[in-house]
Amino acid sequence: NAGVTQTPKFQVLKTGQSMTLQCAQDMNHNSMYWYRQDPGMGLRLIYYSASEGTTDKGEVPNGYNVSRLNKREFSLRLESAAPSQTSVYFCASSWDGGQFRGANVLTFGAGSRLTVL
C-alpha cells in the first residue's frame, strides 16, 4: 500500500525556471493538500483541494499554481522559481467526505526538497 507518493524527492532549480511537483494517493481520499516546511515556520498550507475539480488557496499561495488532475493526483507548479521558494514540500491527503470538519486525519508523503539558486 503506497499511500501518498511525491516526485521528485530532490530538485535544484535556477531562479526563473519552472517545475511541477507531482503527488498521487491510492487511498481513495477526497481531499488533498500542499504544504511547505521551513525552519522555525512549521507547516504552512499553500493550496488544497476539497474534492476533485475544486482548489482553494491556503496561507501562502503566491508564486504557485495547482491542478487536481483527478481524484488521485494533485500537482503543484512553480512558474518562475525564486530563492524564497527553497523549502521542503509535503503533499497530504485525507478522507472526510469532502469537508474538513470533523476528526479528519492527514496522510503525508515523504516530502520533496527543492533548492532554488
Partner 1 sequence: GDSVTQMEGPVTLSEEAFLTINCTYTATGYPSLFWYVQYPGEGLQLLLKATKADDKGSNKGFEATYRKETTSFHLEKGSVQVSDSAVYFCALSALNSGNTPLVFGKGTRLSVIA
Which helix (H) or strand (E) segment holds residue 64: the answer is strand 64-68
Residue of the chain from 23, 36, 48, 64 that contacts partner 1 (CB under 8 A) = 48
Residue of the chain from 12, 27, 82, 105 that contacts partner 1 (CB under 8 A) = 105
Residue of the chain from 22, 55, 58, 72 that contacts partner 1 (CB under 8 A) = 58
Q: Return contacts of 83-86, CB within 8 angstroms, 24+ apart.
A: 83/15, 83/116, 83/117, 84/116, 85/114, 85/116, 86/114, 86/115, 86/116
Piece of the chain touching partner 1 by CB under 8 A; list 16-24, 66-74, 79-87, 96-104:
96-104
Q: How far is the CB of 117 from partner 1 (least distance, A)?
A: 23
Number of residues counted as binding partner 1 (CB under 8 A): 27
Alpha-carbon gap, residue 95 to 47, rounded angstroms: 17
Q: How far is the CB of 56 from partner 1 (least distance, A)?
A: 7
